[in-house]
Amino acid sequence: MIKKIFLLFLLSISMTVLFAQQTKEELQRKQQDLLKEIRDLNNTLKKIKSSKNKSLANYNLVKQKIAAREELIQNINKDLRILDNNIYVNTVEINKLRKELDTLKREYAKSLEFAYKNRSNYDYLNFIFSAVTFNDAIKRITYLKSYRQYREQQVADIENTQNLIGDKLATLNNNKKEKSNALQDQSKQLVDLEEDRKEQNEEVNKLKSQEKDLATQIRKRETDRGNMQRAISAIIRRELAEARKKAEAIAKAKKAAEDERKRKIAEQRRQERLQQQQAQAQAQAKNNANNANNNAPEKSLPDEPVTGITPRPKTDRAFSDLESTDEGRANSINFEKGKGALPWPANGIPTTRFGPYTIPGTMLRGKSDGLYISVPVGAPVKAVADGEVSSVFDLGGEQAVTVRHGKYFTTYSHMSSANVSQGQTVGPNTVLGRAAPNDTGEGEVLFMVTNEKGVFLNPEQWIRRR
């Protein structure tokens, strides 16, 4: 019973260690991703730091770097907790194994003492030949053989336990070394975090001194935002109107097909009744006794399928007019399924995120309907999912492209050129255009996601986390 309890204890500890190891590997992968993000942010900061007009972008990048570093420190703290747990578990296992080793050694010592006291061959022979019967002698020989095997097993158990203790000690030392390294990383990241916060304070002071210029930039951005909203709303209204026409045409075609089906069925039944009447008249002329057969029920004709119309799938999901076609439904559903995993529209660093924002150190406020991404000038801007180009339009001297994905729309703005045209089918990573320079001369792309009601959605909830 005690042995079973001990085995269950070891099994539970092993499962805990295995789970902790899996979690530790995930944390380490996350830490590597965060370190890469911090390196990318530092590289972007170095490129744009020389300009006086880029303090807002600098501030946003430093703010992101602080958030990434704080998350990195949290991951290191989780790693330390896992290491502390591993150290505790391994220490408990080592203590248990040492106690078991002491017990094995005591039992083996008793066996040696017994063997020493009965080491004479005469005693062994006397033990065997003193048996009353032959079967009793055989049992005594078997007992002596089993006792010898038991002593050999005791030696093997002692050696195995010593090896296990050695392995656990090596693992324990490795855990302690990893903990020491993690503590050093934690200390370094805390120092870097303080430096980042100092850098953030410097950027705040710069923003205070540039409040007038920033107010002008925000007013322009708000003007562009209003123009973009009106342009996208017009595109959605147009698409909805066209979709309703298509839906009405499909409904009309379906009704016409249904009317034609009913007409054919009625005509078939009329022809069948005439044939039945003729048959009944002939039968009555031949044999009046068969009058009962003339009352046979009419045969019902099977309904003919309506061709050319694909019915909407039965589901609790509410379908929009923009999903009246198979392609529209498929694009909508695929776009929804890809939420949180869609590719980025451009390979860069986000500078202004979705929603309202404030300029620290000032009374300035603004709002973003999408995600601003800092990229090199001329960098490719790509579609994030399957869809059809709804519009390519000019906005303030820059190109913008809106792509329809069923009842969803994505818009890509601040491009110097467009590589696609209205009505063109695109897929993930199709190049739509090239990034244009913003007011500060740096490449920047604005990415937006909208539903069929014209509501702007947070793009970062749709694209994959880096």
Query: 3-state secondary structure string, the chain?
Result: CHHHHHHHHHHHHHHHHHHHHHHHHHHHHHHHHHHHHHHHHHHHHHHHCCCHHHHHHHHHHHHHHHHHHHHHHHHHHHHHHHHHHHHHHHHHHHHHHHHHHHHHHHHHHHHHHHHHHCCCHHHHHHHHHCCCCHHHHHHHHHHHHHHHHHHHHHHHHHHHHHHHHHHHHHHHHHHHHHHHHHHHHHHHHHHHHHHHHHHHHHHHHHHHHCHHHHHHHHHHHHHHHHHHHHHHHHHHHHHHHHHHHHHHHHHHHHHHHHHHHHHHHHHHHHHHHHHHHHHHHHHHHHCHHHHHHHHCCCCCCCCCCCCCCCCCCCCCCCCCHHHCCHHHHHHHHHHHHCCCCECCCCCCEEEECCEEEECCCCCCEEEECCEEEECCCCCEEECCCCEEEEEEEEECCEEEEEEEECCEEEEEEEEEEECCCCCCEECCCCEEEEEEECCCCCEEEEEEEEECCCCEECHHHCECCC
Asked whether 79 and 28 are in contact (CB, 8 A), the reply is yes
Q: Which residue has the higher pLDDT, 325 or 309?
A: 325
**Residue of 27, 44, 81, 18 lying closest to 373 (CA atoms):** 44
Residue 460's pLDDT is 94
Res 217 pLDDT > 70: yes
Q: Which residue has the higher pLDDT, 103 or 299?
A: 103
Res 306 pLDDT > 50: no
Give mean pLDDT, residues 386-401: 93
Q: Mean pLDDT in the chain? A: 81
Least confident of 256-270, 316-330, 420-434: 316-330
Q: Which residue has the higher pLDDT, 11 or 402?
A: 402
Structure confidence at residue 312 as a pLDDT band (50, 70, 90):
low
The Cα 191–Cα 21 span in angstroms is 28
**What is the sign, positive or negative, of the torsion defined by CA atoms of 450, 451, 456, 461?**
negative
Least confident of 141-155, 166-180, 294-308: 294-308
Domain ranges of the chain: 2-209, 221-285+320-466
Q: Which residue has the higher pLDDT, 27 or 390?
A: 390
pTM: 0.64
Residue 360's pLDDT is 79
Q: Which residue has the higher pLDDT, 403 or 68?
A: 403
Res 45 pLDDT > 70: yes
pLDDT in tens, 88-97: 888 888 888 8
Residue 121's pLDDT is 47
Give mean pLDDT, residues 51-71: 77
pLDDT in tens, 110-136: 777 776 666 554 455 666 667 677 777
Structure confidence at residue 305 as a pLDDT band (50, 70, 90):
very low
Residue 301's pLDDT is 43
Res 1 pLDDT > 60: no
Give mean pLDDT, residues 421-448: 90
- The residue assigned the tokens 């309907």 is 369
Least confident of 85-89, 252-256, 431-435: 252-256
Residue 309's pLDDT is 42
Of 159-173, 222-236, 284-298, 313-327, the range with the highest mean pLDDT is: 222-236
Structure confidence at residue 307 as a pLDDT band (50, 70, 90):
very low
Residue 166's pLDDT is 87
Res 182 pLDDT > 50: yes
Residue 112's pLDDT is 73
Res 414 pLDDT > 90: yes
Residue 134's pLDDT is 73
Residue 119's pLDDT is 57
Residue 248's pLDDT is 81
CA angle centred on 242, ends 396 and 455, rounded to 5°: 55
Structure confidence at residue 451 as a pLDDT band (50, 70, 90):
very high
CATH number of the domain at 221-285+320-466, out of 2.60.40.1080, 2.60.40.1930, 2.70.70.10, 3.30.1490.20?
2.70.70.10
**Residues 17, 23, 28, 33: what is their CA dihedral angle, to the nearest 10 degrees?**
170
Res 354 pLDDT > 80: yes
